[in-house]
Amino acid sequence: MQQKNKGGRLRLVLRFMRGSKRWFVLGLAASLLVTLIEMLNPQIIRATVDSIIGEEPFDLPVFLLAPVEAVGVDYFRTHLWVVALIVLALAAVGALCRFSNTYFNTRASETLVQTMRDLLFGHIQRLPFAWHMKHKTGDIIQRCTSDVDVVRNFLSEQLLAVFRIVILLVSSLWFMFTMSPRLTLIAAAAFPVIILYSMYFNRRISHHFRECDENEGILSTIAQENLTGVRVVRAFGREAYERERFEKQNVKYTGLWARMAVYMTAFWCVGDFISGLQVMLVIVFGCLFCVQGAMTPGQFIAFVAYNSILVWPVRQLGRVIADMSKAGVSLSRIAEIMDSPAEADAPDAEEPDMNQEIRFEHINYAYDANTPEILHDVSFSIEPGSTFAILGGTGSGKTTLMHLLCRLYDLAPGQGKITIGGVDLQKIRAEHVRRNIGIVLQEPFLFSRTIAENIGIGGKEHDLSSIRRAAAIACVDEAIMDFPEGYDTVVGERGVTLSGGQKQRTAIARTLAKETPIMIFDDSLSAVDAETDSRIRHALADSRGNATVILISHRITTLMQAQKILVLNNGRVEAIGTHEELIARPGTYRDIYRIQTGKEDLDE
């Protein structure tokens, strides 16, 4: 299972790197050139000290020895400035390569993070509604921001550094070994210790990184909920409580990172001690070998230079191994989103005409195996072009029925069947269903855009006249035109700048502008007065055309003109019929009608 997870994570990383691989390759090539130049400088210094200033024969790689012999050693002895110029030229080339490396890595990094966010956001948009109900918004945002940045930093900076470190390690050790095998063994003895202890540390702190990451998500959720629900917090005077709740979580989160700081401090201190001990041993034994004549002064200087080049990269390799834990945790949290199955239509999915009879057949539905059933053997039909109404108490399953019709939830085998024109809803493409069903939810959501954009968001191209026509039917056109900027008024987050009735009517206008063959109004007139309710219903009746209208409401006056009314009681069908039929017999509908109209004796 662990190997399978690793393979899945690798495939996910390669998928994220789509479009940025070439920039990573170019950055790696520039990094390798920098490494090559760093390898040449100690050799030039060694040759200068031993063979140009001293009398030792040249001992250089073939590609360097040939041009030196062609010019002649005497020329370099009388023109030492040429050696300095060569070193300066190499430094200039190295600076250019470093610039290229930084540019290519930055380009790769930004392309990578763009791809990651696009893929994440696109996948989240396709996840089932039930998935969103189980995951907190703040935690999802944290995974799409903080975790993405952690993975980006690891892939663009540290992972590429591994290749450069390996090249540095191999080439430096090779040059060092050619100069002094014994001193090379002394220098290299510390490297396995650093790497092994870093791997041990990596395993010990991996779960601490996950704990910190998860608590950051909780903190983000608290902040997000309070920012979006600021009016409720203020209205109920809960500022102090919410501040204490945030501060409590913040103290916990800070404490987790403080504990991580202890672990990280111990990690770096041990690494610094081992590295310092290694440098000391190289200098002590190098001086001893020079005194004994086993090394020349130039070799010793070059050896120390190579060792200095290696010390930090090897320490960095340990850091990469340690940070791999954090990146692994973040990648796993991202993968949990990417591995969640997106909505999928049946292979033989159809796109039938939606303006046909709708049938609910023996619906028995629960959200999951751990919750009780909400709907129990619910069966009824809705004629095309008719007005169908649903009445029921809170929790009776009215909204759940509509969510099932819109395929926000899907029925599992054995939970019944919904058909439109005889076609099973599960065999109709979800996009086709939602494109042809307009729904006004109980809690209308408006985006932080202009009112015109919110009304015309249904997917069709709308001019201002069609938007105003929909707003007029919803009885909100006059209110909008009273705003200083009219339909160009920018709505605050979640419609906070509008009243409850204005938000509901704007949401109704948005559904009407969509012009779908099926329209659902889920208690969408609860925030408007009775007179406006009546005006909207009459305007809707005059303008709906052949559309099938489903009304859910607690107001009898909103439902009484419907051709058929369904009464739900605790998830079961209590009665179904016309207004006259339902008030003619005892039941929930008759009781509510009597309470709302004040009629104590229906026979009179």
pLDDT digits (tens, 9 = 90+) for 434-449: 888 888 887 778 888 8
The full set of domain ranges for the chain reads 2-338, 346-436+517-528+547-604, 443-515
Query: What's the rounded Cα separation, in Å, for the pair 482 and 553?
Result: 29
User: What class does CATH assign to 2-338?
Assistant: mainly alpha
Q: What angle do CA 208, 212, 217 make, to 5 degrees?
A: 145
What's the pLDDT score for residue 64? 67
Handedness of CA 565, 566, 569, 574 (dihedral sign): positive
Beta bridge partners of 378: 363
Residue matched to tokens 């990184």: 209
**Strand 572-577, strand 358-365: pairing:** unpaired
Q: What angle do CA 228, 229, 231 make, to 5 degrees?
A: 120
Look at the alpha carbons of 447, 450, 452, 457 in this order and tell me if their dihedral is positive or negative.
negative
Look at residue 61 in the predicted model and tell me its pLDDT: 63
Residue 263 one-letter amino acid: Y
pLDDT tens-digit map of 67-95:
777 777 777 777 778 778 888 888 888 88
Per-residue exposure over 482-501, b if at least 16 CB sit within 10 Å of its own CB, e if not: eeeeebebebeebbebbeeb
Q: Do domains 346-436+517-528+547-604 and 443-515 have the same CATH topology?
A: yes
**Second CATH level (architecture) for the domain 443-515:** 3-Layer(aba) Sandwich (3.40)
C-alpha distance from residue 168 to each of 163, 173, 175, 266 (Å): 9, 8, 10, 27
Bridge pairing between strands 548-552 and 387-392: parallel
pLDDT of residue 599: 62
Q: What is the pLDDT of residue 602?
A: 47
Q: What is the CATH number of domain 346-436+517-528+547-604?
A: 3.40.50.300
Instruction: Outline where DSSP puts E strands in 287-409.
Output: 358-365, 375-382, 387-392
What parts of the chain have a pLDDT lower than 50? 1-4, 602-604
Helices (H) and strands (E) in the chain, counts: 24, 10
Terminal-residue alpha carbon distance, the chain: 74
CA–CA dist 416, 405 (Å, integer) = 12
* CB 377, CB 362: distance < 8 Å: yes
Q: Is the pTM of this model over 0.85?
A: no
The string of DSSP letters for 90-155 reads HHHHHHHHHHHHHHHHHHHHHHHHHHHHHHHHHHHHHS-HHHHHHS-HHHHHHIIIIIHHHHHHII
Model pLDDT, residue 143: 84
Strand order in the sheet with 437-440: 437-440, 518-522, 548-552, 387-392, 564-569, 572-577
Q: Convert the pLDDT of each residue in 296-311 to its tens digit.
A: 888 888 888 888 777 7
pLDDT of residue 547: 83
Cβ atoms < 10 Å from Cβ of 566: 26
